[in-house]
Amino acid sequence: MTMQLVPELICTNLDKTVEFYVNTLEFSIKYERPEDRFAYLTRERLDVMFEELSAPGRHWLTGEMKYPFGRGLNLQWETSDVVELHERVLARSPSSIYLPLETASYRRHQQVLRQAQFIVQDRDGYLFRFCSS
């Protein structure tokens, strides 16, 4: 059995969030429940769920939601096309670039790993670092 971590994030406007993730970051809708203001999105092996803050039903919130959401959270997702994705984001939503494309080196034990990476901040303030080794 393969385990997978799928974050479920609160957003202020589900329609605008889905539009950004689908049209700018090239996610697709795996499934959605419009009556619950919920969407499950996927891109390559990356999955993320979104639920609108004003949605009916229960929310598992540990405190008041204030912008920017996700303070202290930086989700890193490996992708096969980080350069092309960066160019797409620059063309469609340049203001969402939090950290421009760079090559970074990180030490793991005695080995130095290099990766191309950039960070996007979505409309609710969540940070997503897309990278390729």
pLDDT in tens, 25-49: 999 999 999 999 999 999 998 899 9
3 within a domain of the structure (yes/no): no
- Residue at 64 is within a domain: no
CATH code of the domain in which 39 resides = 3.10.180.10
pLDDT per residue as tens digits for the range 49-79: 999 998 777 778 888 889 999 888 899 999 9
**Residue 45 domain-assigned?**
yes
Whole-prediction pTM value?
0.89
Distance, in Å, from the CA atom of 43 to the CA atom of 22, rounded to the nearest integer, reads 9
Q: Is residue 90 part of a domain?
A: yes
Tell me which residue range forms the domain holding 110. 8-54+74-132
Number of independent structural domains in the chain = 1
